[in-house]
């Protein structure tokens, strides 16, 4: 049975009721969940089921599994109230939205660079790009200024689902496929800071963090 992704309908859903469908060594599976399972470079959610600590949410063999801190003592058919760690998830949503905007302005300043990987959690978004040499600090600073200017303008974020279930994310001129969790409007992000790192392998990394 496929878990219904309640967060797909509402990224702001932080509390929900569900029924346990399976419990095994990996964790607890529900008929529906607002917990985002780690996928597409976005960290899994933490929180609680009936007050029991969920330390992570993962996809295991195509199933969404809530990884519990302790043995949950739950059985199939049990009702649970799930509560996600909202402060953490909201920071992830703000950073995920910011990273898409940052990339748009990064490509405007540096030209297109192939993204080889990315990961966002509540501390930062990091994105790796194929690039010869280093990203010049002045140009990266300009990307930060561009990004923060755009974020402050308060652009709405739109997500449209096509017939194949693909999720099309757009905000102003920026468009991509993305199944992650996002804020509704860029004004919710606030300002960000960008930092360059060199992970080797002919790549450059851009780290985006919240400026507060």
Least CB distance from residue 96 to Zn ion, whole Å?
A: 6
Residue 126 binds to Zn ion (criterion: CB under 5 A): no
Is residue 93 a contact point for Zn ion (CB under 5 A)? no
Residue nearest to Zn ion (CB): 178
Q: Please report how close the Cβ of residue 178 comes to Zn ion at its closest, in angstroms.
A: 3
Token pair, residue 56, equals: 């992570």
Grouping H, G, I as helix, E, B as strand and the rest as coil, residue 141 is helix
Q: Are 43 and 35 in contact (CB under 8 A)?
A: no
One character per residue 146-185, x = contact with Zn ion (rule: CB under 5 A)? --------------------------------x-x-----
Question: By rule CB under 5 A, what count of residues binds Zn ion?
Answer: 2
Q: Name residues whose C-beta falls within 8 Å of residue 125's C-beta, 6 or more positions apart in sequence.
A: 95, 96, 98, 99, 102, 118, 119, 207, 208, 209
Minimum Å gap between C-beta 40 and Zn ion is 6
Cα separation, 53 vs 58, in Å, equals 15
- How near is the Cβ of 175 to Zn ion at its closest, in Å? 11
Nearer to Zn ion, 66 or 100 (CB): 100
Give the residue carrying structure tokens 């402050």: 152
In whole angstroms, give the CA distance from residue 146 to residue 137: 14
- Pick the closer one to Zn ion by CB: 151 or 178: 178
101 makes contact with Zn ion (CB under 5 A): no
Examine residue 64 and tell whether it contacts Zn ion (CB under 5 A).
no
Least distance from Zn ion to the Cβ atom of residue 78, Å: 34
Strand partners, 130: 203
> Using an 8 Å Cβ cutoff, are 57 and 50 in contact?
no
* CA dihedral for 62, 68, 74, 78, sign (positive or negative): negative
Residues of this chain that bind Zn ion (CB under 5 A): 178, 180
């Amino acid at each position: 049975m496929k878990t219904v992704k309640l967060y797909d309908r509402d990224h702001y859903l932080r509390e929900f009721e569900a029924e346990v469908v399976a419990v095994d060594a990996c964790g607890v599976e529900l008929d529906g969940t607002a917990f985002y399972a780690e996928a597409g470079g976005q960290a899994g959610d933490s929180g609680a089921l009936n007050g029991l600590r969920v330390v992570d949410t993962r996809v295991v063999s195509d199933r969404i599994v809530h990884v519990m801190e302790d043995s949950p003592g739950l059985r199939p058919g049990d009702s649970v109230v799930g509560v996600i760690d909202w402060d953490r998830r909201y920071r992830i949503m703000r950073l995920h939205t910011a990273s898409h905007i940052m990339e748009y302005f990064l490509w405007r300043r540096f030209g297109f660079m192939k993204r080889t990987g990315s990961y966002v959690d509540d501390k930062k978004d990091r994105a790796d790009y194929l690039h010869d040499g280093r990203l010049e600090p002045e140009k990266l600073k300009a990307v930060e200024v561009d990004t923060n200017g755009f974020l402050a303008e308060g652009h709405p974020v739109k997500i449209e689902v096509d017939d194949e279930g693909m999720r099309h994310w757009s905000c102003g001129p920026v468009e991509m496929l993305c199944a992650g969790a996002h804020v509704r409007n860029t004004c919710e992000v606030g300002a960000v800071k960008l930092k360059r790192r060199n992970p080797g392998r002919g790549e450059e990394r851009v780290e985006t963090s919240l400026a507060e």
